[in-house]
Amino acid sequence: MPRPGEGKVDCTVIAGRVHQTLSSAYPLKLLSPEAVHNPDTRLIPAVSYILSYGGGIVHGDQIHVDATAGSGSALLLLTQGSTKVYRQRPGRPPSYLKNPKNDSKFDIHQTYQTLVVDVQANAMVCLLPDPVTCFEHAKYNQRQVVRMADASASLVLLDWVTSGRMSRGERWVFDKYLSVNAVLVGGKLVIRDALLLEDARALSKDRETSSFKRRLADIDVFAYLLVLGPEVAKIAKVFRDEHAEHRIKPFRPNARAVDAEETDIRWSVSEVAEHGLEGVAVRVAGPSTEAVKWWIKKRIGGLQSVVGDSAWSMYYNA
Amino acid sequence: MDKETWLLWMLADSQLPTGGFVASAGLEAAMQGGLVREQAYEEDHDSFVTFIRDSTHNQSRFSVPFCARVHDLVSSRLTDSELESKGDDQVINSLVDELVSLDSYHHSMVSSNRVAMRASIAQGGGLLSLFNRGYAHAKFMNDNRRGRACIRVAKELQRQSRLEKTRMHWPTVFGMVCATMEIRMERMQQLYLFQFLRQVFSAAIRLNLIGPLRAQTLECDMLELVDDLMSQYSGLRAKTDTLEDIFGESVVYTDPVLELYQGMHDRLYSRIFNS
């Protein structure tokens, strides 16, 4: 039996069919709609939704998901709506949320979400959640590690965060956002991207140095995207080509952007080549979830032919 | 005069031949991308100051804890008593392995930011070669057992990086060189931030963003910033051993926008810096 907040997704391909086993315990819920296998795709797709009861997580929640994509499978991990991180609840979390395993490890006044993904040889995982939205005073720790068996495994990982409940005028007013994305290939750590947004302690003489709200004043959404491995080489190329074509001319305050729709999007692409694993890392900043979502969707459309129409539409049409 | 002060003056010299003058730490891209406005002084008084504050803050969480970890490691391994009890070969070999593994961890933190990675490897290599060809021949390194062991460590690291068995990133080499020359922890951390600031200021002058006199004024004001960052973060050490360390916040970056703009550097239509 999984402990509170824990869940497991296992994808195995047996005799040309994908078998998915799921288990999860409150407040976490995993759901797996069937994705039709289009015989044109080499990998067999499977989809899992990572959900939480109440549509968000609170302090004291310690979500932990283990996911494995077996050889020959393409596992899409999705959410339904943004991951909302609510502010601290008064007092201690109820005992039914207690996971004794984490007792000494975690601070009960913060929220933790851990995802441990194994991608076997010739398999793929696409982690394409909606963005994280931290409410005022929330303290959130997101910890994701992807262990790729070798350079034949593939990965698409999207990690993004919004400024908060923009409709209520809350912008960058949470207390803490820590997001770590680590990628291992054959047991060797090759990427560790760790972003911390947290204001330094108040006794700082120089308040100016410590405010992430000011640092991020011009944007409302920041996304980090990894596109790695042989199955998604074509998608990596889309970004590479764009990088090669779109030179940046010296800034002019009144210059008109060529592509008006994407005026407010800032992006950069970095080549990644580690331990035989190749691809790109993309960073995108924009003024709204919709703008950034659309910018990304438009460029990763090549996934459709990798995972098939059925699985693709669950992501694309969401 | 004491040796430490003398060496600090040398290391703080803008003529230090490590190749730092080709790096702008993302400033050139930030300027061309519109984050830092040209004619900062008249039109938008603060955008350059904001940039330099944010990027220094970022350094104090991203690189300095790493240097500090390396400094701790080298200082604790290369002592006369360790060398006496375990023998030079064993101490040197195991320290080299530990430094290579720390460097590889640091590599994973810049491996998805090609521009930063390139700058870090270039400057790290520059300093390591400066140590081996310069400081390693100084009297104070050669007239004692510990100094000679330091030289062997640095030589071996350079050999391995030539064979591409390791890179040698800037924070790794910086921490190692300071520790071997017995520059104290706190001094090293201050020097790291000073050098970083000075490099950005010198880039700003060459980019015509500010004049040399205003640069001096601003540089004075940065003392408060560095003191503040030191008081908050000088105790941080990069923890790299377990999965919880990887998930932890001992070494992080704090400015995603800066990271993004730095990544745009290679897309600049015309540029004078390498990063």
pLDDT at B39: 63
Report which listed range, A21-35, A112-126, A192-206, is most confident.
A112-126
Q: A 107-126 residues with CB below 8 A of B?
A: 114
Residue among A105, A182, A283 minimizing CB distance to B259: A283
pLDDT at A100: 77
Q: Which of A48, A90, A43, A41 is nearest to A65 (CA)?
A: A48
* Domain residue ranges of chain B, discontinuous segments joined by +: 64-183
Do B252 and A194 lie within an 8 Å CB cutoff? yes
Residue among B114, B247, B261 minimizing CB distance to A271: B114
pLDDT at A318: 78
More confident residue, A289 or A96: A289
Task: Give how far the C-alpha of residue A120 lies from the chain's centroid of Cα atoms, to the nearest Å.
Answer: 20
pLDDT at A60: 83
Burial class, A299, CB count within 10 angstroms (exposed 0-12 / middle 13-18 / buried 19+)? middle
CA distance readout (Å), B220 to B184, B215, B267: 23, 9, 33
pLDDT at A255 over 80: no
Do A208 and B108 lie within an 8 Å CB cutoff? no
Instruction: Work out the percent of chain B whose per-residue pLDDT is above 70.
Output: 97
pLDDT at A260: 47
pLDDT at A156: 98
Chain segment B133-161, per-residue pLDDT in tens: 999 999 999 999 999 999 999 999 999 99
Identify all chain A residues contacting B38, using CB atoms and an 8 Å cutoff: 251
- Mutation choice for A interface testing from B59, B106, B111 by most A CBs within 10 A: B111
- For the ranges A96-110, A242-256, B173-187, B242-256, the lowest mean pLDDT is seen at A242-256
- Mean pLDDT, chain B, rounded, equals 94
In the 8-state DSSP scheme, what is residue A268?
E
pLDDT at A198: 93
Distance CA B156, CA A27 (A): 53
pLDDT at B10 over 90: yes
Mean pLDDT of B21-37: 89
pLDDT at A81: 87
Mean pLDDT of A101-123: 91
Does the ipTM exceed 0.90?
yes
Structural contact between residues A290 and A219, judged by C-beta atoms closer than 8 angstroms: no
pTM of structure: 0.94
CB count in 10 Å sphere of residue B242 = 9
Gap from A114 CA to chain B (nearest CA, Å): 9
Chain segment B185-216, per-residue pLDDT in tens: 999 999 999 999 999 999 999 999 999 999 99
pLDDT at A203: 45
Chain segment B57-72, per-residue pLDDT in tens: 999 999 999 999 999 9
- Mean pLDDT, chain A, rounded, equals 90
Mean pLDDT of A38-67: 90
pLDDT at A256 over 60: no
